Amino acid sequence: MSLTNPTPGSGEKLLDVSGLRKAFGSHEVLRGIDLSIERGRVLVLIGPSGSGKTTVLRSINGLEIPEAGVVTAAGGIRVDYAAKPAKKDILALRDRTAMVFQHYNLFPHMTVIENIIEGPTQVQGVKKAQAIAEAEALLERVGLAEKRDVYPFQLSGGQAQRVGIVRALALKPDLLLFDEPTSALDPELVGDVLAVMKELADEGWTMLVVTHELAFARQVADEVLFMDGGVIVERGAPRDIFTAPREERTQQFLHRIL
Ligand code: ADP
């Protein structure tokens, strides 16, 4: 089975987010976020810790319910958070987007294969035999076929994260959301995970990636968004953002981490 996204590079707007606002108590974490992604494109979201990057991903996935903002996605999905969206619309959004988490979030009491087939069989109604066959093919692709029946604690961080990626792919989403997928890994394990992500990008998957791996962003992103204080301060092609950032806050951030 190929990892290939069925219709890459069509120019179709796959996701549109406008006016996203979220506060935790009196702390305004998102103060009006607008972004959109065309099918087959890779957006990388960078910015200091606490700037709201994870909250943007979680709001797109319906894991966080913001006070305001409209998220539209392929297939006629429209969630208007200010208008108390129906649960079924949030579930539809979640079904079309799949999240890869910083700490993998694998179910500890399930084997690798059980982790991967859980969503397809329990949420999407895929037959177990078919889900297993697809999961095995995906595991093969990321070099983890022999880990099929082990438990998460028996995996290295890099292996666990590749299982996390396979689990997201098994849902056949339109959009892959990556929340700092390599920041919990030992440095020598980062490369394997980034290599899988690069392969997915090359194959036309649509991806929104939060990461501090600027070399990856430079190589893989179509567009880089710099966030600070709950707003997108600057956006553009990687070579522009990294070599000639216009905004002082972007310059300071890059200066600190480069
Ligand atoms: P980033 O991903 O850029 O580090 P986050 O989106 O994780 O930023 O967090 C933005 C801010 O929101 C931080 O100050 C964080 O402490 C706060 N925050 C995130 N989730 C919660 C929550 N569930 N309750 C209270 N504050 C939160």
ipTM over 0.95: yes
Residues pairing with 45 in the sheet: 210, 225
**Which pairing describes strands 42-46 and 206-210: parallel, antiparallel, or unpaired?**
parallel
pLDDT in tens, the chain (258 residues): 445 554 555 678 899 999 999 999 999 999 999 999 999 999 999 999 999 999 999 999 999 999 999 999 988 999 999 998 999 999 999 999 999 999 999 999 999 999 999 999 999 999 999 999 999 999 999 999 999 999 999 999 999 999 999 999 999 999 999 999 999 999 999 999 999 999 999 999 999 999 999 999 999 999 999 999 999 999 999 999 999 999 999 999 999 987
Best of 21, 54, 208, 253 to mutate for ligand 1, by most ligand atoms within 8 A of CB?
A: 54
Q: Are 108 and 151 in contact (CB under 8 A)?
A: yes
Cα torsion 147, 149, 151, 152 to 10°: value is: 40
Q: Atom 22 in ligand 1: which residue has the minimum CA distance? A: 24
Can you give the pLDDT at residue 12?
A: 85
129: exposed, middle or buried (C-beta count within 10 Å: 0-12, 13-18, 19+)?
exposed
Can you give the pLDDT at residue 117?
A: 98
Can you give the pLDDT at residue 1?
A: 40
Residues with CB under 6 A from ligand 1: 24, 29, 47, 49-55
**In angstroms, what is the span from residue 130 Cα to ligand 1's centroid?**
38
CA atoms within 13 A on the CB side of 195: 10
Closest ligand 1 atom, residue 227 Cα = 3
Residue 188 CB partners (closer than 8 Å, separation 6+): none
Can you give the pLDDT at residue 156?
A: 95
Neighbours of 114 (CB within 10 A): 17
Q: Atom 6 in ligand 1: which residue has the minimum CA distance? A: 52
Backbone angles phi, psi at 106, to 5 degrees: -75, 150
Best of 21, 29, 227 to mutate for ligand 1, by most ligand atoms within 8 A of CB?
A: 29
Please state the pTM of the whole predicted model: 0.94
> Tokens 């200091």 belong to which residue?
48
Can you give the pLDDT at residue 257?
A: 84
Q: Atom 15 in ligand 1: which residue has the minimum CA distance? A: 50
Residue 17 CB partners (closer than 8 Å, separation 6+): 33, 34, 35, 36, 56, 59, 60, 69, 70, 71
Backbone angles phi, psi at 50, to 5 degrees: 90, 5
**In angstroms, what is the span from residue 185 Cα to ligand 1's centroid?**
21
Best of 24, 60, 99 to mutate for ligand 1, by most ligand atoms within 8 A of CB?
A: 24
Best of 27, 45, 55 to mutate for ligand 1, by most ligand atoms within 8 A of CB?
A: 55
Q: Atom 21 in ligand 1: which residue has the minimum CA distance? A: 24
